[in-house]
Amino acid sequence: MGIIETKYEEKNNTIHGRGESMQYTEPVESLDTKTNDCAKALKSLQEELEAVSYYHQRVATTSDPTIREILAHNRDEEIEHAAMLLEWLRRNMDEWDDALRTYLFTTDSIVAIEGAGAAEGNGALGIGSLKA
Ligand SMILES: [Fe+2]
């Protein structure tokens, strides 16, 4: 992000100034640096996921195979960007690490994992009980 974009962000409270989805819901001056950084990461993740959906839909509806290949490549890069942001959130924002460790790379019912954790009163950490 360049200096001009940063000033625009501060003025409009959004990265792109579109007003579609606000990065900040509280006065930015009242946020500590860590919360502000997390807000930027979350907003960026939202944008990456939107881009994934745009490209994915375009791949499905584009007839020219060479354009479709480029769009699929771009979609896959946006997925990579989203994954990078998710990892940053895991390292820097409370609860992400626990949630991702609980739900990612599992094969049990996702809802059952959550239910097992709630039944044991420890969030979603009771997945061991689901495994026979
Ligand atoms: Fe991206």
Q: Are 97 and 90 in contact (CB under 8 A)?
A: yes
Report, as an integer, the average pLDDT of 92-108: 96
Q: How far apart are the first and last CA of the chain?
A: 49
Kindly give the distance from the C-alpha atom of residue 79 to the centroid of ligand 1, in angstroms, as a whole number.
8
Expressed in angstroms and rounded, the spacing between residue 52 Cα and the centre of ligand 1 is 8
Mean pLDDT of 44-67: 98
Confidence band of 57 (pLDDT split at 50, 70, 90): very high
DSSP 30: G
Q: Among residues 47, 54, 38, which one has the least CA distance to residue 16?
A: 47
Sign of CA dihedral 89, 34, 25, 43: negative
pTM, rounded to two decimals: 0.74
Pull the structure tokens for residue 92: 């820097």
Ligand 1 centroid distance, CA of 20 (Å): 18
